[in-house]
Amino acid sequence: MKEGKVITETELNLENSYASLPKMFFSRQSPSHVPSPKLAVLNYPLIESLGLNAKALESDDGVDILAGNRIPEGAIPLAQAYAGHQFGHFTMLGDGRALLIGEHITPIGERFDIQLKGSGRTPYSRGGDGKASLGPMLREYIISEAMNALDIPTTRSLAVVTTGESIIRERNLPGAILTRIASSHIRVGTFQYVSQWGTVEELKALADYTLQRHFKEGEDKENPYLSLLQEVIKNQAELIAKWQLVGFIHGVMNTDNMTISGETIDYGPCAFMDVYDPGTVFSSIDTYGRYAYGNQPNIAAWNLARFAETLLPLLHSDEDEALNLAQNAISNFANLYKNNWLSGMRAKLGIFNEEPEDEYLIEDLLSTMQKHGADYTNTFRALTSDNRKDTALFGATEFDKWYELWQERLARQEESKGASKQLMQSSNPSIIPRNHRVEEALEAAVTKGDYSVMERLVNALSKPHVYSKEQDYYSTLPEPSTCPYRTYCGT
Ligand code: AMP
Ligand code: MG
């Protein structure tokens, strides 16, 4: 294992606060050596915002760092321990194919985890090989960066390198490592892990660490742990509303895949909905639709209830009182979520003020979309561009009626038509990472080594609120297909 300073400085400025938590929370582990690392993608805007040096990361030494062949100065690589409810069943998990290299402190003092995903086996790998293949890592890169451009809190992707290894899946695939950036990797599952197998002191250590890292204001509150719970609930209510507003389906909302920071994490089987249908599921293993589009808010509330349970010993010395506090906090989620969703939907329709009937107007449009198999994103796109004829709804009597009611609603507010249009444009993405366009980019990159298709896609997705002709290519719908789009986990 190579160690120490690289020839040109990467400007990585690493600390390891996670390693000062009690020992049960992690296992120190070096990344596996890989034979022939090569850069596949590097995220220049992110490099800049983190204050890193692109030239140094492009160099052989830099690529060695991104591949886990070189440990940068100041790093303490470790695998984090966590548990989780997977499809409702509680299991011990942990980083089975990822390592936290350290926490990078940016020039303005922000702290971000630097994690290598696909860097080899760890004590938590169970039967897995600890590796990742190129296609899924590029897919995570594309979608996480698209989410960031949509202003949705998310982990980010700094780089993908190929390792020169062949990964054994249903067929041999090129191995790859993704460098993931997150404001932390603390999960609901991390709390479940300590709650199940740790002491109250260890639980308190994690809760205090989380407060310190994410909710500093909470530390001075009368009951800091209640404030931690409330803040996590508030952040998740905002996050899930944002997912729903753009039609993002996470696909595997297990409690280990829900962060405490409120960032979207784990882009395995996720995908964006085409036709509006609350029952939409893409994941091949989600047979019962537990994580269907329309079920995401309920599942978030369920996961948060699991989080609240872990905090009970800290919430109050009296068990009944602790339960009371937790239940009150959880019961707030539905309202918080609904308010976020409603205000987001109003904005999607160019509505500035509130009227009690707005919810009916919104629901009416959605049910008409579902009935007529209208594309979710493109319907709002067409309404924004005033191209009613472009929607699958055009000509339907219900839609004509709805349209009239909507126009009357807009006329009842003070703001001008122009202001409404602007609000709609900034609230309705003109493009999303459509499954067939993502597949096209991955196919070119993985089978032909041609990254230009992906580059163009990522570039277009970085400006989702620009309504230009160039974007049309990315907003066209896939050819009707006999088999629905399917996504897969853990590949
Ligand atoms: P995910 O579906 O990516 O959230 O992963 C669920 C759990 O499986 C986590 O503990 C992962 O670290 C682990 N895991 C996924 N793929 C692998 C692999 N190839 N080798 C070892 N562990 C894995
Ligand atoms: Mg996961």
The pLDDT value recorded for residue 489 is 73
- Asked if 411 and 311 count as a contact pair (C-beta separation under 8 A), the reply is no
Give the pLDDT score at 454: 98
Q: Is 306 annotated as a binding residue?
A: no
Ligand 1 — pocket residues by CB below 6 A?
93-97, 124-125, 128-131, 252, 257, 266, 268, 489-490
- Return the ligand number nearest the Cα of 93: 1
Q: What is the pLDDT of residue 389?
A: 87
CA of 100 to the centre of ligand 1 (A): 15
In the prediction, which pLDDT does 102 show?
98
Residue 97 marked as a ligand binder: yes
Compute the distance from residue 380 Cα to the ligand 2 centre, in Å.
Answer: 32
Q: Which residue stretches of the chain have pLDDT < 50?
A: none
**Is 70 in a helix, a strand, or coil?**
strand
Asked if 256 is an active-site residue, the reply is: yes
Ligand nearest to the CA of 258: 2
For residue 480, how many other CB atoms are within 10 A of its CB?
A: 5
Residues 460, 430: Cα–Cα separation, whole Å: 10
Label the pairing between strands 38-42 and 271-272: unpaired
**DSSP annotation string for 237-267:** HHHHHHHHHHTEE-S---GGGBBSS--B---
Quick one: which atom of ligand 1 is closest to the CA of 93? 10
Distance CA(334)–CA(460), nearest Å, equals 34
Write the residue with the smallest CA distance to atom 16 of ligand 1. 490
pLDDT of amino acid 1: 67
pLDDT given at position 390: 82
225: left (phi over 0), alpha (psi -120 to 50) or beta: alpha
pLDDT in tens, 186-235: 999 999 999 999 999 999 999 999 999 999 999 999 999 999 999 999 99
Q: For residue 167, what is the enclosing H or E element?
A: strand 156-168
Between the CA of 444 and the centroid of ligand 2 the distance, in Å, is 27
- Tell me whether residue 96 is annotated as binding: yes
The CA 303 to ligand 2 mean position distance, Å, reads 14
Q: Please, are residues 98 and 73 in contact by the beta-carbon 8 Å criterion?
A: no
- pLDDT score recorded for residue 485: 84
Domain boundaries, the chain: 2-185, 189-346
DSSP letter at 108 equals: T
Tokens at residue 60, please?
């052989």
Q: What is the dihedral of CA 384, 390, 474, 425, to 10 degrees?
A: 0
Residue 121, marked binder = no
Alpha-carbon distance of 102 to 181, in angstroms, equals 10
The preferred substitution site among 82, 93, 97 for testing ligand 1, maximizing ligand atoms within 8 Å of CB, is 97
- The residue type of 119 is S
**DSSP-assigned beta bridge partners for residue 160:** 41, 178
* Residue with CA nearest ligand 1 atom 11: 96
Choosing from 256, 274, 286, 375, which is the catalytic residue? 256
| Closest alpha carbon to 187 in 96, 83, 337 | 83
- Tokens representing 39? 């850069």
Q: 397 CA to middle of ligand 2, Å?
A: 45
Quote the tokens at residue 230.
Answer: 């409330």
Q: Which residues, 6+ apart, have CB-to-CB distance to 108 below 8 Å? A: 51
Is 129 annotated as ligand-binding?
yes
